[in-house]
């Protein structure tokens, strides 16, 4: 049954578990707060999961893939909607995210929510809504109905992954042109200028970059997305994989399962999700600061601290998977370290 997505009850963050986690960390044989941001991470996970015994062993990166009609305006690495080629590579296990997931004990699941082209692999879930969005310079990217459908798919996919035993979900995507859509969303929702948010995406020439900025300005002038209508923004200048990402964030937040964001496309989805659920960022972990210019503004707006700053701009969930190493590190600390009491050590003040 289709949801309206404005009436899901979010799981409450446990302040009690957060306090217990900080006490636990303060009792370990290390300087107080010595693990810095890893302690912020542990507190955050404890609050989301409602326990100091973190559950993070089974995790899956959900990679939503779709095409964008805007690529025909020469804003991306190619002017053809051929995300199918890149997505098939992820589904077959040979992309960047797969190489990283192997080392970080993470499953990868690819979900087609709107690829334009065909593919041979049988390892991709087919939830195709349309064959790509429309060119948002000349018409809305998608209908409102399809925008809701995209959120629903991300919600249902996450709920199934959680029912299958996943204790943590990671976000990933492939979608040529989606840094243009994400920039349009972020500029609209945060009242920023295009120049403040747009970057080179999948790496384009300086000349093409100037053109990309102008195209996004023209899109905003033509579509006039209204920041008080998040679903309208998603349908006018969004993408199917961005909608699915929003749905997964909502499902995780409803269930008390942490959702690890990836890069700028996750950022844009989170901004829209926050418009529907102001508290959603409490349930999200910002894995890294994307190399895209607008990323810092978004994380500030969401009140999130990125675990890593590596200048990554791959997408696919690659940054989220890299951050799993840190999540596993803090878990190892919690499970394997001696306490101050074990050493009969006491702080004097």
Ligand X SMILES: O=C(O)c1ccc[n+]([C@@H]2O[C@H](COP(=O)([O-])O)[C@@H](O)[C@H]2O)c1
Ligand Y SMILES: Cc1cc2nc[nH]c2cc1C
Residues that bind ligand X (CB under 6 A): 76-77, 173-180, 201-202, 262-265, 290, 292, 313-316
* Run of H or E including 114: strand 107-114
Least separation, in Å, of the C-beta of 345 and ligand X?
Answer: 44
Indicate the residue among 110 and 249 with the shorter CB distance to ligand Y: 110
47 binds, among ligand X, ligand Y, none (CB under 5 to 8 A by kind): none
Q: Which residue is nearest to ligand X (CB)?
A: 315
Q: Which of 314, 322, 327, 330 binds ligand Y (CB under 6 A)?
A: 314
For 66, 176, 202, 240, the CA distances from 84, given in Å and listed in that order, are 8, 10, 16, 14
Indicate the residue among 77 and 333 with the shorter CB distance to ligand Y: 77
Query: Between 178-189 and 264-276, two packed helices, what is the crossing angle to 10 degrees?
Result: 40
Residue 315 near ligand Y by CB under 6 A: yes
Considering 127, 173, 254, 316, which one is annotated as catalytic? 316
Least separation, in Å, of the C-beta of 189 and ligand X?
Answer: 17
Least separation, in Å, of the C-beta of 199 and ligand X?
Answer: 7
Reduced to 3 states (helix: H, G, I; strand: E, B; else coil), residue 130 is: coil
Residue 319 near ligand Y by CB under 6 A: no
DSSP result, 131-180: SS---TTTS-SS-HHHHHHHHHHHHHHHHHHHHTT-SEEEEEEE-TTHHH
262 binds, among ligand Y, ligand X, none (CB under 5 to 8 A by kind): ligand X
Indicate the residue among 265 and 323 with the shorter CB distance to ligand X: 265
60 binds, among ligand Y, ligand X, none (CB under 5 to 8 A by kind): none
C-beta separation of 245 from 147 below 8 A: no
Q: Is 316 a catalytic residue?
A: yes
Q: Which of 37, 202, 227, 296 binds ligand Y (CB under 6 A)?
A: 202
DSSP result, 232-286: HHHHHH--HHHHHHHHHHHHHHHHT--EEE-SHHHHHHHHHHHHH-TTGGGGEEE
Q: Which of 8, 10, 77, 82 binds ligand Y (CB under 6 A)?
A: 77
For 132, 137, 139, 151, 188, the CA distances from 74, given in Å and listed in that order, are 16, 12, 17, 28, 22
Binding stretches for ligand Y (CB under 6 A): 77, 86, 174, 202, 314-316
Active site residues: 316
């Amino acid at each position: 049954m289709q949801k309206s997505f404005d009436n899901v009850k979010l799981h409450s963050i446990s302040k009690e578990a957060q306090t217990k986690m900080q006490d636990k960390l303060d009792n370990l044989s290390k300087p107080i707060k010595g693990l810095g941001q890893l302690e912020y991470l542990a507190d955050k996970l404890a609050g989301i999961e409602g326990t100091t015994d973190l559950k993070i062993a089974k995790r899956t990166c959900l990679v939503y893939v779709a095409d964008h009609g805007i690529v025909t305006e020469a804003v991306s690495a190619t002017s053809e909607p051929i995300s199918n080629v890149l997505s098939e590579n992820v589904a077959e296990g040979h992309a960047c995210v797969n190489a990283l997931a192997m080392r970080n004990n993470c499953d990868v699941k690819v979900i087609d929510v709107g690829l334009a082209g065909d593919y041979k692999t049988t390892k991709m879930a087919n939830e195709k809504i349309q064959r790509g969005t429309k060119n948002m310079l000349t018409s809305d990217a998608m209908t409102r109905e399809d925008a809701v459908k995209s959120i629903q798919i991300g919600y249902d996919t996450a709920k199934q992954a959680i029912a299958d035993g996943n204790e943590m979900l990671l976000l990933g995507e492939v979608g040529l042109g989606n840094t243009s859509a994400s920039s349009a969303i972020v500029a609209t929702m945060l009242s920023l200028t295009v120049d403040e948010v747009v970057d080179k995406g999948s790496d384009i020439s300086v000349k093409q970059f100037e053109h990309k900025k102008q195209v996004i300005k023209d899109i905003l002038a033509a579509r006039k997305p209204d920041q008080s209508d998040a679903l309208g923004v998603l349908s006018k200048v969004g993408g199917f994989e961005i909608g699915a990402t929003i749905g997964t964030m909502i499902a995780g937040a409803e269930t008390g399962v942490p959702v690890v964001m990836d890069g700028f496309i996750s950022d844009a989805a989170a901004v829209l999700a926050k418009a529907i659920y102001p508290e959603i960022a409490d349930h999200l972990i910002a894995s890294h600061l994307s190399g895209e210019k607008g990323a810092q503004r978004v994380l500030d707006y969401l009140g999130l601290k990125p675990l890593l700053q590596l200048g990554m701009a791959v997408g696919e969930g690659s940054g989220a998977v890299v951050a799993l190493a840190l999540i596993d590190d803090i878990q190892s600390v919690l499970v394997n370290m001696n306490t101050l009491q074990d050493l009969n050590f006491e702080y004097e003040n």
